[in-house]
Amino acid sequence: MGIKGLWTELARVAVILSFKELITAEALERRLNGDELPIIGVDASPLMFAAKFATKRKGESINSWTRIGRETELANLRKNLEQWLALPAIFVVVFDGPRRPKMKRGKQVRTSRPHQLEPGMHGGTQARAM
């Protein structure tokens, strides 16, 4: 997918920055020019699935679900939100609506009900909204 050899060509002139460094530099430049902070859209769906998967793997690796603690998936999501709030940007978390497609990223998705972490993540994003 994409343009063959593009990353090889770009590597010669690339400047490698962490996301934190990039967004901080961008925000500083915007503020010095009198502009607003950068606005970054975040798809909630992959975050919820990643949190669920990470917890599942940890539970299997230590062979005990009780050692992980209750609501570990939501704690994972809260940690992500807290890290984003430390950055000089406005984050917009986007959830799937009632008419989400039956296929996402080449996979069939369940459309009959929202992801089980969605209510908790909604609460977390609203509680941290500024």
Question: Residue 43 is encoded by which pair of tokens?
Answer: 């798809």
pLDDT per position as a tens digit, 33-44: 999 999 999 888
- The structure's pTM equals 0.64
> Considering the domain boundaries, does residue 1 fall inside one?
no
pLDDT per position as a tens digit, 45-102: 888 888 888 777 666 665 555 555 557 788 888 888 888 889 999 988 888 777 777 7
Number of domains in the chain: 1
> Considering the domain boundaries, does residue 89 fall inside one?
yes
> Considering the domain boundaries, does residue 108 fall inside one?
yes
